[in-house]
Amino acid sequence: MLSPFSFVSAQLKTSDAKMEAFVNGLMSKMTLDEKIGQLNLVTGGQSVTGSAVNKDIEAKIGKGNIGGIFGVWGTNYIKKAQEIAVNNSRLHIPLIFGLDVIHGHRTIFPIPLGMSATWDMALIQRSARIAATEATGEGINWVFSPMVDIARDPRWGRISEGSGEDPWLGSQIARAMIKGYQGNDMTKSDAVMACVKHFALYGGAEAGREYNTVDMSLIKMYQDYLPPYKAALDAGAGSFMSSFNTINGVPATANRWLLTDLLRKQWGFKGFVVSDYTAVNELSAHGLGDLQTVSALALKAGLDMDMVGEGFLTTLKKSLKEGKVTQAEIDQACRRVLEAKYKLGLFANPYKSISADVEAKAEMTDANRKAARETAEHSFVLLKNKGNILPLKKSGTIALVGPLADNHSEMLGTWVVAGDPRKSVSVIDGIKNVVGNDVNILYARGSNFTDDSLLNERSWFFGMRQIKDKRPAQEMIDEAVETAKKADVVVAVVGESANMSGESSSRSDITIPETQRELLKALAKTGKPVVIVLFNGRPLALTWEDKTFDAILDVWAPGTEAGNAIADVLFGNYNPAGKITATFPRSVGQIPIYYNHKNTGRPFDGKGPAKFKSDYLDISNDPLYPFGYGLSYTSFSYGDVKLSKTNLKGNEKLTATVSVTNAGKVAGEEVVQLYISDPVASISRSVKELKGFKKISLQPGEQKEVSFTITPDDLKFYNTQLKYDWEPGKFVVEIGTNSAETRSASVQWTK
């Protein structure tokens, strides 16, 4: 049946007033049950992250008890469900279909933490665009992405799903993702509505333990944690997801200050807010009351849609009768959900993403795979390369060892819902693809991921577990050592399995699992040069590996094209340029560790006596690898920072320039980073903050002048009154290759 609302198409690109009139008209016909039905988001159950799932979905759709479905894809299911909504429900209101499309849909891109290491907004935006095209081809019109939670604690497994520790870079990435998903016109058949998550501060979980309490000062919130959410909103994000954690003692899902005062009144958000998985029900475990009470609290706080738990569906009517919620509150939430459907063009065409021609786009095309390969290459970070052991020669014999060397399923990383592991390229296959028969490859698995039974048993997601070899550990190590002895160089592909990071995957020990370190120790003893290809969903503590091995290439979890991309970089077809976006600690004891920390009253600069200074007895304050760090097969030399002026006033602009030279023998890319510090202010400020970067490409011997324009906006911060402003005085401009290696110059800036 044709949509009864097809007349809407003529109005789609018109004003909010038209939308309002349309929604008013529709709501005037809706019963209370139908309105509450719009607030109910259920899961079709293909990908679930909780114990609760929904029942009798088809019957509920027919009765108008469901506003949207998530966790299902494929046009068969979605078409059928949409037909029930459009044909059988009384008012024919279409459903919205959501999915966790986190780093690609069919074609899987690197995990978001890896993607952020590209510092390349065009690549990131393109990955979201491709994901949207593929997902809409399977009926999806709403994606639970981007995750923009700032994370400074690598114990937290979900650090893998975000863009690291920096609010400025995180904001750029949030914008790029929103643009990629939503495009300029959400009514298009290949556009999806983004859902910014998890609002808010989820990455601040105490002790890095999943779903744990968050408690932070308002200044820290505003300055360091909230900016990426706001950037996503300003880029036009259509929806937000509330987080599981508490904020100032009140869980986000029932936090009126967060969902209404901040998000809507201060920031002007006009879209809708959905809860996280059963987060409304979980308010009871947080200690806020029974299901009826917490459902009313969530609605009143400003939550519009209830994911999975059906607290809204089963209690709001009663609460209305008892005066615990108002009709206006229910209407408001219902209106926001209907508006989202209107903005997506679903009233005009509920089947806009369910047709043969769009379905074809769900396929992994060659172009999509090519984009995934390019993005993966750009995401890799060369952490160490002593004696330029990399790139490898395209000749001789290589011993390829490690549990990740001949593996398909682990290539994709965490949070992959529709990606097919069988279609991913393993490292061994990638190497063969890239060097053919020029290199003799000897393979030995060498070890399992872990022999720690607890870690092994708990590391799973959507039922997927890492593959275990049943041989005794020593037998596998011996075989790897024998293999290594026959080779010119050893490539050890080790690290975390996909399920050791991601949701519900916090670790208290963030080293490479012991079993694999035993393998590495044995390989080190062979005296052969060893290159570590490291898979990881979080910064790992690699102090021993850094000391022991010549080369470490961090490849995160690279996605569908993993093996090809890794081989391209190992053999120098692409010169790595990625830079880490989350600090790598020396040991877990340094956590939280991040570059934009405060100075303290007793800073320790590493020189002179350490007593009565802010430091540790047993470890230095410095990280192993600082934020923004990453090497190249070439080297770059930086000139001094030249400033257009050293005394500025008011809204004047400052230009800071450095010359960067490729001092090596091969072409390469460099992410030139700009940091600013404000040494004297009314509050204690961070030692420096990222305020810009430029990714440049240089031929051997080539020099480029790289300039940044700095305005007073770059000097602003939140003061004790939470006023966002700058204060006159001295500012230090630093430019460099990472947050710890910079050149600097200072200016005086008066108002």
- Residues forming contacts to ligand BGC in the complex (CB under 6 A) are 49, 100, 144, 197, 276-277, 503
Name residues whose C-beta falls within 8 Å of residue 626's C-beta, 6 or more positions apart in sequence. 583, 595, 738, 739, 740, 741
Instruction: Give the residue among 281, 320, 274 at the shortest CA–CA distance from 32.
Output: 320
Between helices 514-525 and 473-485, what is the axis angle to 10°?
A: 30
Alpha-carbon distance of 117 to 104, in angstroms, equals 17
Q: Is 276 a catalytic residue?
A: yes
CB nearer to ligand BGC: pick between 26 and 192: 192
Alpha-carbon distance of 345 to 350, in angstroms, equals 8
CB nearer to ligand BGC: pick between 371 and 500: 500
CB nearer to ligand BGC: pick between 276 and 377: 276
Name residues whose C-beta falls within 8 Å of residue 382's C-beta, 6 or more positions apart in sequence. 390, 551, 552, 553, 554, 576, 578, 630, 631, 632, 633
Instruction: Give the residue among 416, 434, 414 at the shortest CA–CA distance from 426.
Output: 434
CB nearer to ligand BGC: pick between 503 and 714: 503
CB 285, min distance to ligand BGC, A: 15
CB nearer to ligand BGC: pick between 152 and 198: 198
- Alpha carbon separation from 193 to 142, 345, 346, 359 (Å, rounded): 5, 11, 12, 18
Between helices 562-570 and 366-379, what is the axis angle to 10°?
A: 50
Alpha-carbon distance of 123 to 375, in angstroms, equals 6
CB nearer to ligand BGC: pick between 202 and 222: 202
- Alpha carbon separation from 67 to 15, 82, 93 (Å, rounded): 24, 11, 8
Neighbours of 727 (CB within 10 A): 16
Listing DSSP states for 209-250 in one string gives -TT------HHHIIIIISHHHHHHHHTT--EEEE-SSEETTE
CB 137, min distance to ligand BGC, A: 20
Catalytic residue among 166, 224, 276, 568: 276
CB 485, min distance to ligand BGC, A: 46
CB nearer to ligand BGC: pick between 276 and 496: 276
CB nearer to ligand BGC: pick between 41 and 297: 41
Q: Which amino acid is at 720?
A: T
Name residues whose C-beta falls within 8 Å of residue 723's C-beta, 6 or more positions apart in sequence. none
As separate numbers, helices (DSSP H) first and strands (DSSP E) second, the chain gives 22, 29
Name residues whose C-beta falls within 8 Å of residue 14's C-beta, 6 or more positions apart in sequence. none
Alpha-carbon distance of 512 to 530, in angstroms, equals 16
CB nearer to ligand BGC: pick between 310 and 503: 503
CB 49, min distance to ligand BGC, A: 3
CB 499, min distance to ligand BGC, A: 15
CB 384, min distance to ligand BGC, A: 33
Are the C-beta atoms of residues 143 and 132 closer than 8 Å to each other? yes
CB nearer to ligand BGC: pick between 138 and 503: 503
- Alpha carbon separation from 461 to 47, 124, 414, 498 (Å, rounded): 9, 25, 8, 9
Alpha-carbon distance of 467 to 497, in angstroms, equals 10
CB nearer to ligand BGC: pick between 10 and 285: 285
| Half-sphere exposure at residue 140, Cβ-oriented, CA atoms within 13 angstroms | 35
CB 456, min distance to ligand BGC, A: 22
CB 50, min distance to ligand BGC, A: 6
Q: Which residue is nearest to ligand BGC (CB)?
A: 49
CB 237, min distance to ligand BGC, A: 14
Alpha-carbon distance of 232 to 433, in angstroms, equals 39
Burial label, 607 (beta-carbon count in 10 A; 0-12, 13-18, 19+): exposed
CB 581, min distance to ligand BGC, A: 20
CB 309, min distance to ligand BGC, A: 12
Are the C-beta atoms of residues 615 and 593 closer than 8 Å to each other? no
Q: Which amino acid is at 382?
A: L
Residue pointed to by tokens 């050592």: 481
CB nearer to ligand BGC: pick between 277 and 638: 277
Are the C-beta atoms of residues 715 and 749 closer than 8 Å to each other? yes
Name residues whose C-beta falls within 8 Å of residue 522's C-beta, 6 or more positions apart in sequence. 477, 480, 481
- Alpha carbon separation from 440 to 394, 398, 466, 483, 489 (Å, rounded): 9, 6, 28, 12, 11
Helix (H) or strand (E) holding 643: strand 642-643
Alpha-carbon distance of 98 to 181, in angstroms, equals 13
CB 418, min distance to ligand BGC, A: 13
Indicate which residues carry an active-site annotation: 276
